[in-house]
């Protein structure tokens, strides 16, 4: 299942994000903002727990989110750009990290780091990566999380290619994909078109 955020504010922010003239500071801020919108959408089905509180006027029962049931796991390094946005929404969620880089010959991901909370299997995991291109990194990350016993995973990205969506849905139909936009296609170098370039380089100003 893929959920594409269709909203004028999202389209507006993506237009600035895609622009090659947008600087590192503004790019980073926009990634954070769009990640917040994605997190909002991804938590629409969140279960609330009934608690009793006191307002200045009276005691009442109300639903609250148990933030200890969630973990955010960015795929390094670009996924780190989304982390500030989602922890603004759910500040007490635990955080893990999955390190991958793309082999420029095979275009497949190479894993080099995996560190998650000890009780990750008890949590719903929100996987973060700005770009869903071939789907290789997403699938490898989901493999690692499922090997640790994680049962519920959601994947959040800014931009997705149809090829990547199809590949992830074929392997893991139980993992919903939340994206700000589905782009046209991958080019011969497996970059998303029209895309926004290399998200990691633009977030961290490394090119």
Catalytic entry in 77, 84, 140, 201: 201
Say if residue 101's pLDDT is above 80.
Answer: no
Q: Say whether 19 is catalytic.
A: no
Give the per-residue pLDDT at 2.
95
- Determine the structural domain holding residue 92 and report its residue range: 2-204
Contact 73, 84 (CB under 8 A): no
Residue 130 is predicted with a pLDDT of 96
**97 phi and psi, to 5 degrees?**
-140, 140
Residues contacting residue 53 through CB under 8 Å, at least 6 positions apart: 59, 60, 62
CB 133 within 8 A of CB 162: no
The residue with tokens 């090829």 is 163
CATH code assigned at 49 = 3.40.50.2020
Query: For residue 132, what is the DSSP state?
Result: E
- Answer yes or no: 88 catalytic: no
Domains of the chain: total: 1
Three-state DSSP at 6 gives: coil
Query: Are the C-beta atoms of residues 99 and 112 closer than 8 Å to each other?
Result: yes
Q: Which residue among the candidates 77, 84, 102, 140 is catalytic per the annotation?
A: 102
In the chain, % of residues over pLDDT 70: 99
Averaged pLDDT, 167-191: 95
**28 belongs to the catalytic site:** no
Q: What's the rounded Cα separation, in Å, for the pair 104 and 176?
A: 28
Q: Count the helix, strand and coil residues of the chain and give each as a percent rounded to the nearest 5.
A: 35, 30, 35
Please identify which of the residues 28, 84, 140, 198 carries the catalytic annotation.
Answer: 198
Across the range 77-86, mean pLDDT stands at 93
Using N-to-C axis directions, what is the helix angle for 80-89 and 24-42, rounded to 10°?
50
Question: What would the mean pLDDT of 182-195 be, rounded to a whole number?
Answer: 93
The answer to whether 183 is a known catalytic residue is: no
Query: Could you give the residue ranges of the DSSP H alpha helices within 43-135?
Result: 80-89
Q: What is the pLDDT of residue 103?
A: 73
- Please report, in angstroms and rounded to a whole number, the separation of the first and last CA atoms in the chain: 34
**Nearest CA among 119, 35, 144, 124 for reference residue 71:** 124
User: What burial class does residue 135 get, using C-beta atoms within 10 Å of its C-beta: 0-12 exposed, 13-18 middle, 19+ buried?
Assistant: buried
**What would the two tokens of residue 162 be?**
């149809």
pTM, two decimal places: 0.91
Catalytic residue among 19, 106, 174, 206: 106
């Amino acid at each position: 299942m893929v959920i594409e955020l269709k909203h004028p504010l999202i389209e507006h922010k993506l237009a600035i994000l895609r622009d090659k003239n947008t600087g590192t500071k503004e790019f980073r801020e926009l990634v954070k903002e769009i990640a917040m919108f994605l997190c909002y959408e991804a938590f629409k089905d969140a279960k609330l727990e009934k608690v009793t509180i006191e307002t200045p006027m009276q005691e009442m029962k109300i639903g609250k989110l148990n933030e200890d049931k969630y973990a955010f796991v960015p795929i390094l390094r670009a996924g780190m750009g989304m982390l500030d946005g989602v922890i603004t929404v759910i500040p007490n969620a635990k955080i893990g990290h999955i390190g991958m880089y793309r082999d420029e010959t095979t275009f497949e991901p190479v894993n080099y780091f995996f560190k998650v909370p000890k009780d990750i299997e008890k949590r719903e995991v929100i996987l973060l990566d700005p770009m869903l291109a071939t789907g290789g990194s997403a699938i490898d990350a989901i493999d690692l999380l499922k090997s640790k016993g994680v049962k519920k995973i959601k994947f959040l990205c800014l931009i997705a290619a149809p090829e990547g969506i199809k590949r992830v849905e074929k392997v893991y139909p139980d993992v919903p994909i939340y994206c700000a936009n589905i782009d046209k296609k991958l080019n011969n170098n497996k970059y998303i078109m029209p895309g926004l370039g290399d998200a990691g380089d633009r977030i961290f100003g490394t090119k």
